[in-house]
A = this chain, B = another copy of it.
Amino acid sequence: MSKEKDLYEKIVELAARRGFFWRSYEIYGGVAGFVDLGPLGAALKKNIEEKWREWFILKHQDFIVEIETPVITPRAVLEASGHLEHFTDPIVECRKCGRKFRADHLIEDEIGEPVEGLKPHELSKIIKERNIKCPMCGGNLSEVREFSLLFQTTIGPYSENVGFLRPEAAQGMFTSFKRVYEAMRGKLPLGIGQIGKVGRNEISPRQGVIRLREFTIMEVEFFFDPEEPTCPLLPEVENDELRLITCNLKMKGIKEPLIVTVMEGLEKGLIVNEWLAYFLAIGQRFVKDLGIPLEKQVFEEKLPHERAHYSTQTFDQLVKVSRWGWIEVAGHSYRGRYDLSRHIAYSRKDLTVYKQFKEPKILKVEELEIDVEKLKEFYGEHYTKIVREFSESDKNILLRELESKGYLSIAGFKIPKEFFKVKTVAKKVKGKRFIPHVVEPSFGAERLLYATLEYAYSVRNGRVVLKLPKDIAPISVAVFPLVNKEPIVKIAKETYENLKSMKLRVLYDVSGSIGRRYARADEIGVPLALTVDYRSVEDDTVTLRNRDTWEQIRVKRKEVYRKIPLYIKGEISFEQLGEPA
């Protein structure tokens, strides 16, 4: 008896056959972690991106803008961002067969307990204690070490110019923050968004389109003044309900989410910032627009050891899918001032923002001083050079550098923090420079594409009907001549050409019975099928068929050009398209 395919397999089969997606480089045996989007998949992804753009950019276009920065990133940027140090997974190698495994996954498979967040030496210890062997050949395993998830390359002909593929789009927004801020005429809050490819060199990805080594990120870095953290748009979403799995619940082992409104989540201190809360709600509405109901979405707060190195609070936005359970489709992170202060420290460029006070204030200001006597003692005659360079430098930038690195590079020396003193003095000032804080909603497009397909998948009378939301379906309307005869074909072709010239995505199909053609269109989620029949020849009407109900109505042909776009956008109902057929 052959095992019935699960929903994931059914979608993968449909996706490959009809042209949504398939494994890349199949003719060469495929490469894990890469996927090709076929004609329907590329169109669906584009529509998902456009929907994201509506929710995150266009709706807020007075203060959120979209930019595009390179995938290839020089080493200096990812050193500053901390990715060079922190963006790793633990790896272990079999000493006998040479196979390599992700150590935490291997251990979890063997002992059935989570080990996320443990250090390599701790994982090595478990392997020894539990006597865990290579799952493929039974050989002994090596010590666990860190494996960098960055794809490395070289920029230009000099081998020392190391570069990487970006693991997130965010760093392009941080390194260009000052330029964008100035082009937008120096106003906060300011969101900088981007849609683009990223690379994460996973050790052994095995979940198809769910875990990719190359995928598309849709990300906003939202910069605001930490002294003015209120979100004026909050009233729009304050009553939206969020399903939160907080750290507190997780530590108590409670799996059921807490359902709170956005406002309650803020008032109870479950969400640390209004903008973070606002984007949780917007993110939830966006994903709902893809056809994924609210009760299939939760926000899981990450425990300190689960969070990325830059984050002080993170909620993963999870969506339930059949085979894989709850999968992350977005991360919402409060990145604070981490990234900008690191880039100030590492680039020694001023990325702060100036704010003028209404009237001068007495403020406590940090001042950096250098211990000249101690310098003389340890650096001898070089001390004059060091003092000169120190006094010519921007002390605020040096303060950030000292804070980030624990030392300062001056005149070619690495001078440890013991040589400096940070004095807090009260000063009357007209304004001040500060580092904006950042909240980041970040979505993965391919996972959303898969989840969208799964929630659209339905079966009626043994046939697949893909109930994609009308405005994200890859093809908006199918045009069928009832029979392959003139003048029916001529009328159908003309209708098709007219719809096409409106830049709609249209399908024309003349082959097979009309029933088979409806079925083929249903299977790829075409919301409307327009049929030209014998009556069309007489009175220039056509029928329109509703994918989801299979109902048909009859409409004057000259009206379809105006009405179809309104129907696709959800501005009129199916009944408003015409008269019952």
Partner-B contacts on A (CB < 8 A)? 16-19, 22, 24-28, 31-43, 45, 54, 58-59, 61-62, 65-74, 76-77, 91, 100, 147, 151-158, 163, 165, 172, 175-176, 178-180, 182-185, 196-197, 199, 201-204, 213-214, 343, 346-347, 349, 351, 500, 503, 505-506, 508, 511
Nearest-Cβ distance from residue A295 to partner chain B, whole angstroms: 28
* Complex-state Cα separation, A202 to B157, whole angstroms: 8
* Complex-state Cα separation, A37 to B176, whole angstroms: 10
B54 touches A68 (CB 8 A): no
A68 and B42 contact, Cβ closer than 8 Å, known pairs A179-B16, A204-B156, A508-B62: yes
Residues of B within 8 A of A165 (CB): 72, 153, 165
Residues of B within 8 A of A28 (CB): 74, 76-77, 175, 346-347
* Complex-state Cα separation, A197 to B195, whole angstroms: 12
Residues of B within 8 A of A180 (CB): 19, 38-39
B176 touches A36 (CB 8 A): yes
Residues of B within 8 A of A156 (CB): 32-33, 201-204, 213
Closest chain B residue, CB of each to CB of A173: B36
B41 touches A68 (CB 8 A): yes
Task: Please tell me how many copies of the chain the complex holds.
Answer: 2
* Complex-state Cα separation, A22 to B69, whole angstroms: 10
Nearest-Cβ distance from residue A143 to partner chain B, whole angstroms: 15
A22 and B176 contact, Cβ closer than 8 Å, known pairs A28-B347, A62-B508, A152-B154: yes
Residues of B within 8 A of A73 (CB): 25
CB-contact partner of A24 in B24, B31, B62, B70, under 8 A: B70
Nearest-Cβ distance from residue A328 to partner chain B, whole angstroms: 21
CB-contact partner of A72 in B45, B77, B199, B351, under 8 A: B199
A39 touches B175 (CB 8 A): no
| 15 more CB-based (< 8 A) A-B contacts, given A36-B179, A59-B500, A147-B157 | A22-B176, A27-B347, A31-B155, A33-B155, A37-B67, A37-B68, A38-B180, A38-B183, A39-B180, A42-B66, A42-B67, A71-B71, A100-B157, A151-B155, A153-B165
B201 touches A25 (CB 8 A): no
> A interface, by DSSP: helix, strand, loop or mixed?
mixed
Residues of B within 8 A of A17 (CB): 182-183
Nearest-Cβ distance from residue A444 to partner chain B, whole angstroms: 15
A39 and B66 contact, Cβ closer than 8 Å, known pairs A28-B175, A74-B25: yes
Nearest-Cβ distance from residue A418 to partner chain B, whole angstroms: 28
* Complex-state Cα separation, A284 to B202, whole angstroms: 43
Closest chain B residue, CB of each to CB of A216: B68
Residues of B within 8 A of A22 (CB): 176, 179
Nearest-Cβ distance from residue A478 to partner chain B, whole angstroms: 12
A25 touches B77 (CB 8 A): yes
A153 touches B151 (CB 8 A): yes
Nearest-Cβ distance from residue A190 to partner chain B, whole angstroms: 10
Closest chain B residue, CB of each to CB of A37: B68
A24 touches B500 (CB 8 A): no
A151 touches B34 (CB 8 A): no
A203 and B27 contact, Cβ closer than 8 Å, known pairs A36-B172, A68-B37: no
Nearest-Cβ distance from residue A32 to partner chain B, whole angstroms: 8
A27 touches B349 (CB 8 A): yes
7 shortest interchain CB distances as A-B pairs: A19-B183, A39-B65, A27-B347, A37-B68, A27-B349, A100-B157, A42-B68
Nearest-Cβ distance from residue A334 to partner chain B, whole angstroms: 23
* Complex-state Cα separation, A172 to B197, whole angstroms: 16
Nearest-Cβ distance from residue A464 to partner chain B, whole angstroms: 15
